[in-house]
Amino acid sequence: MTMNNPEKPAVLLVDDNPANLQILHATLRDGGYRLLIAKDGESALNIIAHVHPALVLLDIMMPAMDGYEVCRRIKADTLMSRTSIIFL
């Protein structure tokens, strides 16, 4: 997990591919966001539960828990259900 400035809106980048995470991070780092990184679905759910990011950029194809299952769990949880998600 990467945290820049806690005053900025948080964007969670979720992908099991390090190269994809690097590209996303490089693209968004100067956009005024606090960028958070999760390398799997379970880590993403943990971060979302504690940080409540403004947006989640979510990979679909991941081992153990795919992006669709992560989304289902987010939307089923009343505390996380308003989280905005964009599938990659």
Residue 4 has pLDDT above 60, yes or no: no
Residue range 47-52: average pLDDT? 95
Is residue 29 situated within a structural domain? yes
Is residue 5 situated within a structural domain? no
pTM above 0.75, yes or no: yes
- The β-bridge partners of 36 are 12
Is residue 21 situated within a structural domain? yes
Q: What is the CATH number of the domain that holds 77?
A: 3.40.50.2300
Q: How many other C-beta atoms can be found within 10 angstroms of the C-beta atom of residue 78?
A: 7
pLDDT for res 7: 80
Task: Tell me the pLDDT tens digit for each residue of 33-48.
Answer: 999 999 999 999 999 9
Task: Tell me the pLDDT tens digit for each residue of 63-81.
Answer: 999 999 999 999 999 999 9
Burial class of residue 16 in the structure, from the number of CB atoms within 10 Å of its CB (0-12 exposed, 13-18 middle, 19+ buried): middle
